[in-house]
Amino acid sequence: KELTVWLVALAGLILFAIGTALDLLEAFGLRLQIIPQLMESTCIAIGILLFAFGLRTILRQLADLANIDPMTNLFNRRHLEKAINMELERCKRYNLPMAISFIDVDKFKQINDQLGHPQGDAILQRIANKLKKSIRTSDTLARYGGDEFVLLMTQTDASGANTLLS
């Protein structure tokens, strides 16, 4: 999939370059009679569209790489910090409650030591999936690091957080 996006962007760039080269040839009076003006314009237009589409998709993928933990597919610490700051501002502005829960897997080092890191990673992935299924879509769940997760609960007071986490 990623290779396809890169190829689309590259094809767009090539078409744009061909159309531009044909346009330059015409500017220097070297217009090739076999290539109609419509084809030149079409190359440029399709090239720009393909390149823009490919570039947009690539930029989205890069944003995901910057904000998603690759092992658990949860948000990472960088994204969490941004989300907390935004939510704090919103809570101040509208006088809303907010709750944050730190979740730590007890004795996780022993799991890695006894079963190995690949098995420990699989356990973290299962924990992440279970946590994802148990939260609201308005909440933000992130892997903070190692075996630690953070759940940011929007518009939730202490009793609501206790209910949600029970």
Is there a catalytic annotation at residue 147? yes
Tell me the residue type at 57.
T
Nearest one of 98, 97, 117 to 108, comparing CA atoms: 117
CA distance 99 to 88: 10
Nearest one of 138, 104, 152, 102 to 124, comparing CA atoms: 104
Query: Strand order of the sheet with strand 98-104?
Result: 98-104, 148-154, 140-145
CA distance 108 to 93: 39
**Annotated catalytic residue: which of 104, 106, 147, 157?**
147
Q: Which two tokens stand for residue 67?
A: 């904000």
Ramachandran angles phi, psi of 145, nearest 5°: 160, 145
Beta-strand ranges (E) seen in the chain are 98-104, 140-145, 148-154
Q: What positions carry a catalytic annotation?
A: 147
